[in-house]
Amino acid sequence: MLHRKYFMLSSPPEVFIFSRNATKFIFLLLALMAACMDCMPTTSPGYAIVVDAGSSGTRCWVYKLTPVAGNKLPKIEIVNKEKYKGGMAKQITEIKASLEKIVKFAKTHVPADQHAKTPIYFMATAGMRYLAENSATSVFDSIDHFLSDPAKCPFQHETPARILSGQEEGTFAWLSVNYLKGVLDDETLKDPTSKTFGVLEMGGASVQITFVPRSQILDNVFQFKFHRNKFHIYSHSYLNYGQETVREILDNSTLSRNNRHLSSNYVLNPCQIKDDTRAASESLNTSLLGTGHFEECVDMIRDMFVIPNKNCAPGPCTINNIYQPSIPRNQTFFAIGVIYKVLRDLGIDTSKPVKPSVIKYEATRFCSQNIPSLTDFQKLACPIGIYLYVLLVDVFKFAEDSEQIITIEEINGKTIGDFMLNVLS
């Protein structure tokens, strides 16, 4: 019978491989192992399998777990990984066939004498969140039924398949960054507010912010113990405010304004590189013509948000009346995922702290010139760069001249890339 258990993180393992996807799953794996301590190896190496279902693809990771003397958690190494195209949310009728491929792959990389001892975990993000409740229940019941059948899957499946919340994803990103920076196991840690690092992450469908505030957390709090340190972190995920969803919202807003260029079929788009053209939609005989007008685009982006009510509770509140404690001015934030790529494409020096005022200047410059050699993804730096500026200043309340934000692709030489929705899509 599948049932849920709760967990507490203990001392950190020695982690050998941090690929752009693996870092998140290492912490996910630690959490799941802590929920099932009898699954962990004690004297000889063991294995674990993590399956993630993203919006356009599914990944399977096979890990080797080697016991470490004097440590409650093992050393973790990646044995192999595989990606399967097509999101399960869009291929519900083919779930059985997808699971058969995954199990076949895992059986190849886990020794036969370890099959019955090896746990398999199934987690979903991104596209799975858009399934209707009844559909989601049916999908996960089917997955659990398949993985729990010894005739179809020789591995242990005791933790139910489920969807990770955006808040959980933000928390795993925070754990990964602070672990790699050596903060979580710092026995001399006195002030988590100034010593830990906040995390801003943007994916295709959402934006996450996670940090340790100075004040008491009244909502969206995660509490856990890692080694000898206790942490209370705030984490919130803004679903539908990621790169792809924001561009779609801005396109629709542009079309609704119907500000056409003379008598042509072009609709003027201030959130698009000047003189750049592209189709608005396959179903519409309309194209967008960029004007690259920073201030007009800022106004459109601000229209996406609901200004917080002064009497919202609990407070303070940010957009859409979402509670968010004030960000400590002495806390550094790592901006990861799409954010790094956008700032890089804007031409911003990512080797030093990035001020919002610099993002404003560079986005204004970038959007006002048409560079034919840019790829479609690079062109996204125009609308998303402006959006990022509004997000930092209006939503998260960073000062224009703040030097708290560092954007990274690697930390301590280990690639972290897209941790959440976009990395799995």
Catalytically annotated residues:
169
If you write DSSP's letter for every residue of 173-208 in order, what string do you get?
HHHHHHHHTT-TT-TT---HHHHS-EEEEE-SSEEE
Ramachandran angles phi, psi of 282, nearest 5°: -65, -25
- 58/263 Cα distance (integer angstroms): 46
Map 320-381 to HEC letters. HHCECCCCCCCCCEEEEEHHHHHHHHCCCCCCCCCCHHHHHHHHHHHHCCCCCCCCHHHHCH
Known binder of ligand: residue 57? no
Known binder of ligand: residue 89? no
Residue type, 194: S
- 413/292 Cα distance (integer angstroms): 36
277-279 β-sheet, strand order: 266-269, 287-290, 277-279
Contact assessment for residue 100 and residue 116, using Cβ atoms and an 8 Å cutoff: no
The residue among 404, 248, 239, 252 whose CA lies nearest residue 328 is 404
Give the position of tokens 């919340």: 165
The residue among 241, 227, 238, 123 whose CA lies nearest residue 175 is 227
Known binder of ligand: residue 135? no
- Cα 163 to Cα 63, 139, 168, 335: the distances in Å are 21, 11, 10, 24
- 383/247 Cα distance (integer angstroms): 7
Contact assessment for residue 106 and residue 155, using Cβ atoms and an 8 Å cutoff: yes
Residue type, 229: N
If you write DSSP's letter for every residue of 245-303 in order, what string do you get?
HHHHHHHHHHHHHT-BSTTSSEEEETTS-TT-EEES-TTSS-EEEE---HHHHHHHHHT
Known binder of ligand: residue 139? no
- 212/298 Cα distance (integer angstroms): 29
175 contact partners, CB below 8 Å, separation of at least 6: 9, 27, 184, 226
Known binder of ligand: residue 204? yes
Ramachandran angles phi, psi of 234, nearest 5°: -100, 135
* Binding residue numbers for ATP: 204-208
* Binding residue numbers: 204-208
